[in-house]
Amino acid sequence: MMVGFARRWISGRGALPLLLLVGVASEAIYLVYFVRGFYLPAYYAMPLLDLGKITRYAPGAAVEFLGYFTALFVLYYLAYRLARAVGFSREIDGVPRPAPGGQGRPPLRGIEDSAGGCPRVSSGALHSTPGGQRRPPLHLRSGDGSARAQSADWWLVAIVGFAAVFSATMVFVYPVGAADIFDYVFSGHVLAHYRLNPFAYAPVDFPNDPLYSYPAWKYVPASYGPVWAYICGLATLLAGNDLYANLMAYKTLVVAAYMGSIWLTWRILKDTAPGYAVPGTLLFAWNPLVIYETAGNGHNDSVMMLFVLIAVYLLARRRSTLAIAALVLSALLKFVTAVLLPVFVLSAFSQEKKLGGRARFLGGTLVIAGLMAGVLYAPVWVGSETLGLTRRQEMFTNSFPTILLLMLEGSVGTEVARSLITRAVTLLLVAYCVFWSLRAGGTFAGMLNASYEVLFFYLTVASLWFQPWYLVWLVSLAALLPRVDIAHRTVIFCYSAMLSYFVFVFLWIWNATSYDIMAVQARAVAVTYVLPVAFTAYVLWKNRAARGEASQRVGG
């Protein structure tokens, strides 16, 4: 009886207070472990520090790192379960919510749960109210269907409020996970201070510059797309030549993109899967990896994914050409999102029912994409080296292709092995993109699911060079899919990716005399991929078994 009461309380009025307690506990970890241990003002002036150097690779520091991150993920998952313990309704007093865009064309068909345990959104729920009535407030209803309800506005305030507090706290943490932010600063410094092309000049060309000691990739020019180069130039122009001011400027920039992504996640889910708006927004906003890699390490992936979410938002409103333009901007910031173009283009193409409309869409999209690429690349173009493709084909770490390279290079040579592996994974990725683009079927849910699966395949199979912050891409899309299996797969992958820091920062150094490169990479790959791949295989097996049982019942 007491257990039943506790469950009802947690799934009803007790859920929000518990969420607040989880938020307070999470913030305590961000403050006590990260800010106290890696305070940015105390360390920023010392070049090329990292987690291991600051902690002197102490075993106790490794235990702390694993313990605190495990606690953060446990709290995060508890918060997600609390958000899912209650149901959501848009139909208050029988009034359905209006479609996005008012009385205009309806958006793509809503997302319907395909994994169980999540709300379903029928296409009828996407019709506008008669006379354009004001949208009723989103309400929260207890999972057992009781009449006890509370405004979801308080949930949104709690989620966004704590996300802002978490990120504002982590802004003051030294980027112990990677030195990329220092490379961003110097790239912007080349453009804003020297008025030179960052794709033609590397830090090594300015050995007397006061910032020269800080970039890790001293011999490498700008390695992202032109959109990021211009953003870097603007950020450095505003921040000036002071290193600390630049670090804060870049961290503020990526946190602003992260907060914008939270808003877009909420907006997209309100229109496509309103019953999942609160859990989905929390799934992205409170993810410890996203917060650590964005506000803590200052990676630009949040900016890249902001453009992807803008594309999703526009596509949901049937603004197909603008959606593709936003996705092209994302790819011109960081090239990886180009793999989503086939999925988005085919989905948008399917919205056009007439041949003329399809022809205009394809023609207009090609022209706009070409113009965008040409205009943005023209001022910085220095030949094919601007794309950095050759350099990227030589970069292997923490991936299955890395293990394959280490196995083959002794027999066929490093260059041949790299070429063979790069071509093979590229062909696999292209085939996988085509498969999921066709399978998406032109629906909004199909497009999102296909985009997620393409990125998951890229990260687990086709990526030559894998880093934990790449999971920001996956979390951004997972939050939009009201599927428990997708959420679980993503959370598991995020946690296992964070464990790779333990291998490269601590385990490798402790065993530097006994581990060769294969031993290190094999352990990193096992730690990073075994859990998410095994879980994915389990879900596929379970779904296949369920379909088999269903067909037997129908046949019987």
- Band of the pLDDT at 4, cuts 50, 70, 90? low
Mapped onto helix, strand or coil, the DSSP state of residue 116 is coil
15-29 helix and 2-11 helix, angle to the nearest 10 degrees: 70
Q: In whole angstroms, how far apart are CA 310 and each of 135, 313, 328, 401, 474?
A: 22, 5, 11, 32, 16
Residue type, 147: A
Indicate the domain borders of the chain. 91-137
The pLDDT tens digits of the residues spanning 294-353 come to 999 999 999 999 999 999 999 999 899 999 999 999 999 999 999 999 999 998 888 777
pLDDT for the residue numbered 97: 42
Average pLDDT over residues 266-292: 97
The pLDDT tens digits of the residues spanning 487-515 come to 999 999 999 999 999 999 999 999 999 99
Query: Longest Cα pair distance anywhere in the chain, in angstroms?
Result: 80
Q: Which residues contact 155 (CB under 8 A, 6 or more apart)?
A: 16, 19, 83, 140, 278
Q: How far apart are CA 499 and CA 447, in angstroms?
A: 31
Residues of the chain by 3-state class (helix, strand, coil), percent to 5: 70, 5, 25
The pLDDT tens digits of the residues spanning 99-156 come to 444 444 444 445 544 443 444 433 333 333 334 444 444 444 444 443 334 468 899 9
SS3 annotation, 131-182: HHCCCCCCEEEECCCCCCEEEHHHHHHHHHHHHHHHHHHHCCECCCCCCHHH
Find out whether 262 and 163 touch, Cβ atoms under 8 Å. Answer: yes
Q: Which residues contact 137 (CB under 8 A, 6 or more apart)?
A: 92, 151, 152, 153
- Band of the pLDDT at 88, cuts 50, 70, 90? low
The pLDDT tens digits of the residues spanning 462-480 come to 999 999 999 999 999 999 9
The pLDDT tens digits of the residues spanning 21-66 come to 999 999 999 999 999 999 999 999 999 999 999 999 999 999 999 9
Q: How far apart are CA 395 and CA 422, in angstroms?
A: 10
